[in-house]
Structure 1
Amino acid sequence: MRQILMPTDFSENAKNAIKYASELFKYERCVFYFLHTYEDTIYENSELTRETLQEIEKSIQADVEAKLAETLAHVNALSPNPRHKYHAIASNNSLVDETDKQVEAHNIDLIVMGTRGETNDPKVLFGSHTLQVLKYVQCPVLAVPENYVYTQPKHILFPTNLMIPYKRRELKLLCEIAAPYRAEIDLLYVSKSSNLSLRQEDNLAFVKGVVSKNDINLITESHHDIVSAIHQYIEKHETDMLVMVNTRQSFFEVMLMQSAVDKMTLQVNIPFLVMQNLRR
């Protein structure tokens, strides 16, 4: 049974991510954990003093629990799927710390969340909360853009330099997402040369071996800039999901580094699965 954690700030973006996840995993037995952390809300309260701390904490906790109850009612009405179970978690903690805690406690397979939250700044690719989870939580994250209308993932883009010894658990997740929809997976290799080293050939064979239920296409693009190559490929080809790996010197890190400088001007308007090639 798949364990899915869904941090929510109760925004429309978060609700859309819930809707997307319900559809994407409709054929699977899943347990969804809806998480809201409110430590920041407490300390941002203008009336907070040592004397009022306990009262404010209780008030905010009650409000969060009520909103989580509404979320459970909403998702049960939206997707009354007998394969799915839902739980709510309210926590006076930071988002990253509590997410890490829940990942360990429930052996979470995947985190699903919106790309942006309540602030919804159109100038950035990821909101601050989503970016924190992507960078610091050791679990795959599926980020769903605001207003993205669910489409079965028939075409998945997976940019890679084929230098990373991928984890079987992460690749298996990709396989299990793609298999019910018979999705094609395009491995985009951005290089001036189409020749692969022995290491790259071994990594390619490993990917094909694990993701064996799907058609995999190796596509080589000669381009001076990785981020631009990915963006152009998405524009030119029908693509329903972008998959990248977060590890040192990966394409994903390059995107984050560039985005930090350019304030995330690159727009990814499709669901974005980030696999964490880190120890769990």
Structure 2
Amino acid sequence: MKNILLLSDFSTNSENAIHYAMHFFKNEKCTFHIMHIHKIGSFTSDDLMNSPKESIYESITKEPKEKLEALVENLKSTFRNANYSFETIIDFDVFIDAINQAITNHKIDFIVMGTNGASGVKEVFLGSNTINVVRKVHCKTLIIPEGYTFTPVKKLLLPLDPHDAIGGKQFIELLGFIETYKLHLDVLRVNPNKENPKLEQEDLSNLALFDCSYHVVNDVPMDFAISSYMQTNTIDFLALFVKNERFLEHFFSKANTKINLSKISKPILVLHP
């Protein structure tokens, strides 16, 4: 039984990510915890005065509760999967605190979310909520691009910069993911400045027992290497090893190891140390 946390702000993009999850996990027994994190500040005194017989909690949760219930009914009727069960969560905590609490309380295995929220305000790459989840939440996270339609997943690309190593918890979790969903692994080692010539030998040694494709690209920026590889190879998924202390540098700097996620049109699996 898997516990999947689905984040919903009732936007088209979050609903699209939820639908992706319905397809992706269709062969597994899952409980989907659909969570809406509400901002207290969006309510006014008029909202509370309209329902004087209800408690404050009931007043401010009524609308999101109805929306979540309608969403669940729609998912049940659309996907009709006997392996699926649904729970709803409404929280008023700080966004990241609410997610971390849900992960602990419900033993969450995966988070699934879209790249941008209902506000339509986009960060440079992902959207502020998605960025914060990647940076601050230590749970396997599936990020679904805006408007992406599910297709069967067969090949996963793992790009590695000079600071990434094959091994440790992240790689073990990735291997488990690949085995569960019967994926082929493509490894792309990118050395923009030829920092460590021994990396290729180490990689080949660590990958000797695995059926995978391995490629090395030298003297090319990470961003360009990934983009070119995905254009010339059929890739259905991208996996990223995220080291929190390097996150901003890794994604936002002008360095050759930068990854511009706005150019990645496929779902992304984020793994933490």
**Corresponding position of 1:135:** 135
2:2 touches 2:31 (CA, 8 Å); kept in 1? yes
| Cα deviation, residue 271, structure 1 | 0.4
In structure 1, the gaps of 5 or more residues are none
> Does residue 268 in structure 1 map to residue 264 in structure 2?
yes
Q: How does 1:20-35 map to 2 (within 5 A)?
A: 20-35=20-35
| Cα deviation, residue 231, structure 1 | 2.0
SS for the counterpart of 1:244 is strand
| Cα deviation, residue 244, structure 1 | 0.2
**Corresponding position of 1:154:** 154
The count of corresponding residues between Structure 1 and Structure 2 is 264
2:126 touches 2:262 (CA, 8 Å); kept in 1? no
In structure 2, the CA distance between the partners of 1:122 and 1:202, relative to structure 1 (3 Å rule), is: closer
Structure 1, 248-257 or 69-78: larger mean CA deviation: 248-257
Which of 192, 195, 198 is matched with 1:196 structurally? Answer: 198
Q: Deviations over 1:176-201 (max 9, x none)?
A: 54346532111110026594349x72
Equivalents in 1 of 2:134, 2:18: separation in Å?
18
1:157 touches 1:239 (CA, 8 Å); kept in 2? yes
In structure 2, the CA distance between the partners of 1:75 and 1:63, relative to structure 1 (3 Å rule), is: same
> Does residue 60 in structure 1 map to residue 56 in structure 2?
no
| Cα deviation, residue 164, structure 1 | 3.6
2:135 touches 2:247 (CA, 8 Å); kept in 1? no
Equivalents in 1 of 2:142, 2:230: separation in Å?
17
Structure 1, 23-32 or 181-190: larger mean CA deviation: 181-190
SS for the counterpart of 1:34 is strand
SS for the counterpart of 1:266 is helix
> Does residue 242 in structure 1 map to residue 238 in structure 2?
yes
Amino acid paired to 2:132: Q
Equivalents in 2 of 1:101, 1:150: separation in Å?
29
1:155 touches 1:238 (CA, 8 Å); kept in 2? yes
1:112 touches 1:143 (CA, 8 Å); kept in 2? yes
> Does residue 219 in structure 1 map to residue 215 in structure 2?
yes
In structure 2, the CA distance between the partners of 1:208 and 1:11, relative to structure 1 (3 Å rule), is: farther
SS for the counterpart of 2:152 is coil
| Cα deviation, residue 266, structure 1 | 3.3
Equivalents in 1 of 2:179, 2:92: separation in Å?
38
Percent same amino acid at aligned positions?
Answer: 27
Q: How does 1:41-190 map to 2 (within 5 A)?
A: 42-45=40-43, 58-121=58-121, 124-161=124-161, 163-164=164-165, 166-168=167-169, 170-171=170-171, 173-179=173-179, 182-190=182-190
Equivalents in 2 of 1:247, 1:48: separation in Å?
45
In structure 2, the CA distance between the partners of 1:123 and 1:35, relative to structure 1 (3 Å rule), is: closer
**Corresponding position of 2:18:** 18
SS for the counterpart of 1:27 is coil
Equivalents in 2 of 1:203, 1:96: separation in Å?
38
In structure 2, the gaps of 5 or more residues are none
Equivalents in 2 of 1:176, 1:22: separation in Å?
20
1:4 touches 1:111 (CA, 8 Å); kept in 2? yes
Equivalents in 2 of 1:129, 1:117: separation in Å?
8
> TM-score, normalization: structure 1?
0.80
2:31 touches 2:86 (CA, 8 Å); kept in 1? yes
Amino acid paired to 2:41: Y
